Amino acid sequence: MDAQFRQAVRIAYRQLQLLVGPKYGVRWIYNYSLTDDEADGVTNPLLPDDVRTGSVRLQPGEHPFPTKYAIQQPQLRIEPSIYLEALMQDVIAFGGRIRIRRFETVADLMSLEESVIVNCTGLGARALFRDDQLVPLKGQLVVLMPQAEVEYGTNGGWQVPAAEAGSFLHMMPRQDGIVLGGTLEPDVWTLDVNEEERRRVVNAHMRLFASLRAA
């Protein structure tokens, strides 16, 4: 399985490299992982050596963030609103068809003409395949007005009150807005906005960027 995973990473990485540019909304940006822990920043051991982009651990005084360290790493970033639309147009241009259908049972899948089926039903798989162990992990994002001058991302554990600790916080710049996250709510099915989580994410980022010092 590890070898299969590494090969899939290599294929995906190479294909995304070829898509860099405005048409597909794929680009390189720097991401900064913020931490006070000197041991943070170890690369996933499953990641193949030939696709690692390298990172630099900025020491105190070498970055404007309030944490002790900031790990700088170039990363490929995908703009979903651009990327997904471009892929759909490619499918149509190459003769593909997009059909909307509802599947009630597994037997309904057998009525498809296609010889290969890729299961991307998400939470719908719970009912379709009668998998009662499948539960949602609700994530919620806050989208701010876009700012062209913000060309980097952040993630990690800067100082937050104890009551707000334990969730992964990150900022991602996009052309359609600055995305703040994140939340992880297990077994939450509602699509309603969690106002408490929204305030937590926004307030934590306000404290972060208010504490930046001049570089």
DSSP one-letter code for 138: E
Its domain, for residue 61, covers: 34-76+137-210
d(CA 123, CA 136): 7
At 164 the pLDDT is 47
Q: Spell out the alpha helix ranges (H) of the chain.
A: 2-18, 80-93, 106-109, 124-128, 195-210
- Answer yes or no: is 48 within a domain: yes
| Same structural domain, 111 and 172 | no
pLDDT in tens, the chain (215 residues): 889 999 999 999 999 999 999 999 999 999 999 998 887 765 677 888 888 888 999 999 999 998 899 999 999 999 999 999 999 999 999 999 999 999 999 999 989 988 999 889 888 999 999 999 999 999 999 999 999 999 999 998 554 444 444 457 899 999 999 999 988 899 999 999 999 999 999 999 998 898 886 54
Q: Containing H/E element for 74?
A: strand 69-78
Cis amide bond preceding 95, omega within 30: no
Residue 192 main-chain phi, psi, to 5 deg: -70, 150
Prediction pTM value:
0.85
Q: Which H/E stretch holds residue 132?
A: none
Contacts of 140 (CB under 8 A, 6+ apart): 181, 182, 183, 185, 193, 194, 197, 198, 201
Number of domains in the chain: 2
Residue 14, in any domain of the structure: no
Examine residue 165 and state whether it is found in any structural domain, yes or no: yes
Do 162 and 112 share a structural domain?
no
Could you tell me if 84 and 25 are in contact, meaning their C-beta atoms sit under 8 angstroms apart? no
**Residues 113 and 156 placed together within one structural domain of the fold:** no
According to DSSP, the residues that pair with 26 across neighbouring strands are 20, 78
Helix, strand or coil, per DSSP, at residue 174:
strand
Q: How many residues does the chain have?
A: 215
pLDDT of res. 163: 42
